[in-house]
């Protein structure tokens, strides 16, 4: 099914949704990230955590394990991920006792039609991301009222006013950002205090980890995301929406 048809099916009363989001932000404005996570599950409807099992993903995965080990965790396997990511995903899920990890992939018919040789990324990286990540994720989220992300205010100027709860444009869902107010040192401290396992590629110079063909090590002094789609005018895989369109720049999960 085309992405625009999926979005149409996900339409909702934006006014009512905005009122609900405003109420949630007022309720949890001064609460901790874990409280926001718990509040999302309790008051936000059917909520899923979308996780890449990347460099910092273990923080929210740990919160899910603390709040409710049965929290739906959606993991998109693009079939182009590092082997280390796939191994890390299995190990973290088992260690934290997560019982509802949903591994999703693109429909094989879509792959056979649009990228039978796995070379689409060489001619159109946006189309490759849409095929292998965005469309499968939107399909997986159809049954949910919202999803939890790891976005933070410090990551981009467009996020300086990021709230814990927001309306996702074009989908009729709530987007939850428990770590909105966290700084990089908060992430590191949480991982250290809770003795959480690091993604093995971080120690090899990969502070931001995506698909293997499109991710390279980052040199000292470079932006942490410099290794994603290096030398290309692209910074985002397209899983976030603004004004009903997939965001390509400055809206990283």
**Which residues, including other chains, have CB under 8 Å from residue 238's CB and lie 6 or more apart?**
126, 129, 130, 133, 134, 246, 247, 248
20: enclosing H helix or E strand: helix 14-28
CA-nearest of 99, 94, 91 to 68 is 99
3-state secondary structure of 215: strand
Catalytic residue among 128, 129, 211, 237: 237
- For residues 78 and 133, the answer to whether their CB atoms sit within 8 Å is yes
CA quadruple 61, 63, 65, 71: dihedral sign? negative
79-111: string of b/e by CB count within 10 Å (b at 16+)? ebbbebbeebbeebbeebebeebeeebbeeeeb
* Complete DSSP assignment for 61-123: HHHHHHH-TT--EEEE--S-B-HHHHHHHHHHHHHHT---EEEE---HHHHHHH-TTS-HHHH
211 catalytically annotated: no
Question: Catalytic residue numbers?
Answer: 237
């Amino acid at each position: 099914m085309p992405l625009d048809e999926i979005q149409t099916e996900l339409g909702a009363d934006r006014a009512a949704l905005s009122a609900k989001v405003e109420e949630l932000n007022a309720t949890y404005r001064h609460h901790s990230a874990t409280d926001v996570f718990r509040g999302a599950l309790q008051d936000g409807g059917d909520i899923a955590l979308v996780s890449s099992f990347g460099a910092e993903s273990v923080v929210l995965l740990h919160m899910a394990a603390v709040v409710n080990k049965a929290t739906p965790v959606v993991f998109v396997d693009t079939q182009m991920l590092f082997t280390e990511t796939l191994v890390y995903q299995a190990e973290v899920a088992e260690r934290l006792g997560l019982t509802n990890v949903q591994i999703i992939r693109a429909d094989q018919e879509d792959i056979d039609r649009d990228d039978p040789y796995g070379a689409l990324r060489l001619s159109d990286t946006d189309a490759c991301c849409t095929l292998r990540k965005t469309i499968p994720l939107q399909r997986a989220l159809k049954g949910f009222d919202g999803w939890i992300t790891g976005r933070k205010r410090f990551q981009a100027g467009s996020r300086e006013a990021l709230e814990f709860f927001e309306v996702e444009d074009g989908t009729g869902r709530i987007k939850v950002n428990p770590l909105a107010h966290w700084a990089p040192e908060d992430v590191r401290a949480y991982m250290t205090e809770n003795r959480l396992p690091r993604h093995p590629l971080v120690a090899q110079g990969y502070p931001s980890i995506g698909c293997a063909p499109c991710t390279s090590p980052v040199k000292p002094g470079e932006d942490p995301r410099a290794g994603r789609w290096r030398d290309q005018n692209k910074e985002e895989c397209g899983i976030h929406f603004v004004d009903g369109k997939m965001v390509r720049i400055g809206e990283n999960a």
